[in-house]
Structure 1
Amino acid sequence: MIDQIRPAELAEWFARNPGATPVVLDVREPWELQTACVVPQGFTLATIPMNEIPARIAELDANQRIACLCHHGARSQRVAAFLAQNGFDEVANIAGGIDAWSVQHDASVPRY
């Protein structure tokens, strides 16, 4: 089962395994990243569009703790499930996506 975490719970989720590198994997399209993007604070930000994940999975480390992010949470849920099926044990979906991030965590992030 994929963990569903709210943006406000992200730091706590990463802290559950302090030995793993915390990564937010943003799977939105480039135009979406130009519209709104999170600022890394206590984590590394990786950006790979959802459709490119299978071809670029080698860019990710299965030993990292990866929280997937998209616009509302549907694409990132699929990516998290794909990663889990491919040997990534510590993956989560950021519930509500960047829209929830803006509402719950950082109002400076534009909503679209």
Structure 2
Amino acid sequence: MDTNKTNFFELVYQVVRLIPPGRVSTYGAIAAYLGTKGSARMVGWAMNASHKQAGIPAHRVVNREGLLTGKNHFSDPEAMQRLLEKEGIMVESDRIKDFARLFWDPAEHLKI
């Protein structure tokens, strides 16, 4: 495996582990925080690969519109929504309700 990709994935996982329960972030916000603004897709690949590891709340990462675009990478496509709802996040038609209020921006909350 490419060492640079492995290191990037681990940086993504470190940020994702900090997303508080009941909040969500986006692929793009995580990429921007890591200084790689154009690599939102790579963050998505990291999330897809994260299901093989414990302790990474991949269900808290959605696209910039609050859509559950990663749901098909869970063992059960409905698992992402169930996990979010268990944390009090309402989902309707695969979209986070009140997304703007629930959005957690690592650049704001982690202060590089």
**Fold match by TM threshold 0.5:** no
TM-score of the two chains, using structure 2 as the length reference = 0.34
* More contact order relative to length (CA 8 Å, sep ≥ 6): 1
TM-score of the two chains, using structure 1 as the length reference = 0.34
